[in-house]
Amino acid sequence: MESALQERETPLQEARILGVRVHRVSMMEALQRIEQLIQRREPSLVITADANAVLIALEDAEFHRLMETAPLVTADGAGLLWAGRQLKQPFPERVSGVDLVEQLTRLSHEKGYRLYFLGAAPGVAERAAQNLLIKYPNAQIVGVQHGYFSATDEPAIVAQIAAVRPDVLLVGMGMPRQEKWAWAHRNALDTPVMIGVGGSFDVYAGVVKRAPRWMQRTGCEWLWRLVQDPRKIKKVRNLPRFAWQVWRARKQESPQA
Ligand code: UDP
């Protein structure tokens, strides 16, 4: 018990990207922390942050606060990994929402954790669950709900989630709405871990295809996503602004560089 408590308190290494906090963790460390949070059973938020998340935090005080206080903020995306290297606070690897969904389904298959999928268009989270269950048949996906509900339906949805007592609520409703929504309803949801996973259900449902491995490895996944969904141009347009700010921050830190 004591060793478990000590382990719980081990602080994670942090990077400051343009002043915004992101943990420098591997996928394995992230999963360990999530399991600790499940044991702790206090509502906790996990954020999978990309470059856009940092830009949002710089303009949105509420989201910035969530990034400052969340017990786990992972680096999701080539832009953030690049920034970590530039600012001499490298991340060990990318820990994306998409990969976390699969890894947590695997852990659920192995250890019985109860998962709830919330978000994406009607039918998509169901299909994602069905596809993941083919690979992890003993996973406990205890509920699914699409992410296009009205404010009137909200109390019933929150109650329905709480009633099935998930250990982990995966929320795919886009950033920063998914994080704000989960945190605002944390007491009624009474779920130990809430994770924003963006468009992950679309990937497992087969609605969008994940970029080929070589594109993920070379940091070009954003280009693949843009081709699949041109509405993502808004996010891609922000990348040069992010890169410019990181470059300036690097110059300020080491003027001779
Ligand atoms: N979405 C939703 N409800 C909404 C708006 C969006 O459930 O009101 C879903 C959308 O269908 C998609 C996900 O939220 O599955 C957003 O995906 P995206 O890749 O844009 O996530 P982000 O990168 O913004 O976190």
Determine the distance separating the centroid of ligand 1 and the alpha carbon of 172, expressed in angstroms. 6
Question: In which residue are the tokens 């699409």 written?
Answer: 146
Residue whose CA is closest, atom 17 of ligand 1? 199
Residue 4 clears pLDDT 70, i.e. is over it: no
CA of 121, closest atom in ligand 1: 11
Render pLDDT for 139-179 as a digit per residue (tens, 0 to 9): 999 999 999 999 999 999 999 999 999 999 999 999 999 99
Residue whose CA is closest, atom 11 of ligand 1? 120
Window from 4-8, 57-61, 96-100, 125-129 with minimum mean pLDDT:
4-8
- Specify the pLDDT at position 9: 58
Average of per-residue pLDDT values in the chain: 93
CA of 202, closest atom in ligand 1: 15
- Specify the pLDDT at position 238: 86
Determine the distance separating the centroid of ligand 1 and the alpha carbon of 120, expressed in angstroms. 6
CA distance 150 to 126: 19
Window from 205-209, 211-215, 218-222, 248-252 with minimum mean pLDDT:
218-222
Alpha helix (H) ranges present in 25-146?
27-40, 51-59, 61-69, 78-86, 97-111, 124-135
Q: Domain residues of the chain, as ranges?
A: 12-205
- Specify the pLDDT at position 2: 44
Q: Which of 173, 202, 233, 239 to mutate to test the pocket of ligand 1 (most atoms within 8 A of CB)?
A: 173
- Specify the pLDDT at position 8: 54
C-alpha to C-alpha distances, 190 to 63, 72, 168, 252, nearest whole angstrom:
21, 18, 10, 44
Cβ atoms 48, 22 nearer than 8 A: no
Ligand 1 neighbours, Cβ below 6 Å, are: 119-121, 147-148, 172-175, 198-199, 201-202
Render pLDDT for 107-123 as a digit per residue (tens, 0 to 9): 999 999 999 999 999 99
- Specify the pLDDT at position 1: 45
- Specify the pLDDT at position 200: 97
Render pLDDT for 133-150 as a digit per residue (tens, 0 to 9): 999 999 999 999 999 999
Determine the distance separating the centroid of ligand 1 and the alpha carbon of 27, expressed in angstroms. 23
Task: Write the burial class of residue 198 (CB in 10 Å: 0-12 exposed, 13-18 middle, 19+ buried).
Answer: buried
Render pLDDT for 7-53 as a digit per residue (tens, 0 to 9): 555 899 999 999 999 999 999 999 999 999 999 999 999 999 999 99
CA distance 51 to 115: 27
Residue whose CA is closest, atom 16 of ligand 1? 174
CATH topology of domain 12-205: Rossmann fold (3.40.50)
- Specify the pLDDT at position 255: 61
Residues 6+ apart with CB under 8 A from 234: none
- Specify the pLDDT at position 121: 97
Model pTM?
0.92
CB atoms within 10 A of CB 191: 23
